[in-house]
Amino acid sequence: MHMATVNLFFDKRHTNKSGLIPILYKLSHKNQMTTWTTGYSARECEYNGDDNAFLNRKNPKHKSINSELYQNLLNYRKLISENISTIKDMLVVELKNFILYGKKSEPIRTDFFEYAEEYINIYSGGTKKCTLMIKTMCFI
């Protein structure tokens, strides 16, 4: 089994008008990938490409940004390594929530009718008439 990995990612696909490129965390798990923002962006000329020193001296705040990015990266990697048995069956989005919020997310619903029925039961007292109406509307 491949263990989940977290790395820093310089997302050149989303350069803004000012020429700033977002720096993201990239999580890979079970042949799936997701990202989340670090809250930082930089110019391409400031990019160093090393997880230990992601930004070079051309960025005036490179030391503090690099320190924060690397510390977060180490924390995320430690969390993964300490919870291998917990995360092995998670989807990548569930793992992302576990890393960011410290909890396993609820299973993702794939059946609209199950979701609609649960929603109706919670917010309308569970009348069968509402459930039938939702199912009928979906097929029109």
Burial 43-77 (b: 16+ CB within 10 A, else e): eeebbbeeeebbbeeebeebeebbeebbebbeebb
- Give the pLDDT mean for 58-78: 94
Q: Where are the domains of the chain?
A: 5-101, 109-140
Calpha distance 107→93 (Å, rounded): 10
Could you tell me the two tokens for 97? 């929530």
Calpha distance 74→62 (Å, rounded): 18
User: Residues 108-124: pLDDT tens digits?
Assistant: 555 666 666 666 666 66
Question: Given this model, what pLDDT does residue 78 score?
Answer: 94
Alpha helices per DSSP H over the chain:
62-82, 84-87, 92-101, 112-124, 128-138
Residue 27's DSSP bridge partners are: 6, 34
Of residues 102 and 2, more confidently modeled: 102
With a cut of 90, say whether residue 106 has pLDDT above it.
no
Could you tell me the two tokens for 79? 């969390």
Are 99 and 77 in contact, with CB atoms under 8 Å apart?
no
